[in-house]
Amino acid sequence: MRVFVTGATGFVGSVVVQDLLQAGHAVLGLARSDRGAAALAAAGAEVHRGDVEDLDSLRRGAAAADGVIHTAFIHDFSRFREVCEVDRRAIQAMGDVLAGSDRPLVLTSGTGMGTPAPGRPATEDHFDPNHPNPRSASELAAEAVAARGVRVSVVRLPQVHDTKKQGLVTLLIALAREKGTSAYVGDGLNRWPAVHLLDAAPVYRLALEKAPAGARYHPVAEEGVTGRAIAEAIGRGLKIPVVSLSPEEAAGHFGWLGMFAAMDMPASSVLTRERLGWKPTQAAGLIDDLDRMDYSAG
């Protein structure tokens, strides 16, 4: 299959490209820079120039492929609602090209979209269209293009980690370095799900190959790592104090990250394992990677 991959040079997307190529698929990768184009070519992928806000480039890439995997996202959480709207438009543009065909479109969202109630793990079959998180725009767009005959599925990511990056935790590390303290909120028992990068990437390929229209998947290895455990690992790495903050103190400390810092958002991957035959194989968990990373590189 010839697969158009957006975000093909990104943290997750670059490993998705490698996994696809190793499985015998051809890859047409979206690149917005000469450096990205060179990296894709060196990996063995064909280069398609453009970016996630260039809707014509997205349409051309989708039209030239047998299927699409959309991992691109503008990770500027200080304007989260705006970048979620960018994602919605990108999905709509590619959906326009794929409408009425059986070509698969695999999208990206977050596990938080599957939370049925506070304190309960997110599940693959749950989605609240009125969810207050702006990222719901991506899944609403998925439903809209599915209604036009697109075989769309969604991969909901938790905190994806290796020893260099760890999703939102990377931003917590930068904040802790700036503030001189590593903080958690209250008792720190709120939970974030996690998966190693090398375990997350194959779920996109499996969804491309197997997913029926409307399917949602959770590549989750750890259902929930506590905020306190994360803060303590960061404190060890940076050799700085670890402190508990009240919700009122947290607002000033975390800034825009405060909307996530206290969230309890565990997630299950039971249905993903059953339906795709996927299981994580990497031994390292989130805390393992935080303990092994090089904090001097920051």
177 shares its domain with 213: no
Burial class (CB in 10 A: 0-12, 13-18, 19+), 182: buried
With respect to residue 184, please indicate whether it lies within any of the assigned structural domains: yes
Domain with 38, as residue range(s), is: 2-159+195-220
178 shares its domain with 65: no
Predicted pLDDT of residue 112: 92
With respect to residue 62, please indicate whether it lies within any of the assigned structural domains: yes
68 shares its domain with 140: yes
With respect to residue 275, please indicate whether it lies within any of the assigned structural domains: no
Which uninterrupted H or E stretch holds 27? strand 26-31
Record the tokens describing residue 152, joined without a space: 């769309």
119 shares its domain with 166: no
Confidence of residue 133 (pLDDT cuts 50, 70, 90): confident
Measuring CA to CA, how many Å separate 204 from each of 68, 133, 141, 154? Answer: 10, 23, 18, 9
Residue 211 has pLDDT above 80, yes or no: yes
- CA-nearest of 73, 1, 13, 75 to 43 is 13
Residue 297 has pLDDT above 90, yes or no: no
66 shares its domain with 189: no
Record the tokens describing residue 219, joined without a space: 């590549």
127 shares its domain with 239: no
Name the average pLDDT for the chain.
96
Confidence of residue 52 (pLDDT cuts 50, 70, 90): very high
pLDDT, tens digit (0-9, with 9 covering 90-100), for 89-114 = 999 999 999 998 889 999 999 999 99
**Can you give the CATH number for the domain in which 231 is found?**
3.90.25
How many structural domains comprise the chain?
2
With respect to residue 276, please indicate whether it lies within any of the assigned structural domains: no
Residue 75 has pLDDT above 90, yes or no: no
206 shares its domain with 63: yes
Amino acid at 108: T
- CA-nearest of 41, 217, 60 to 124 is 217
Predicted pLDDT of residue 175: 97
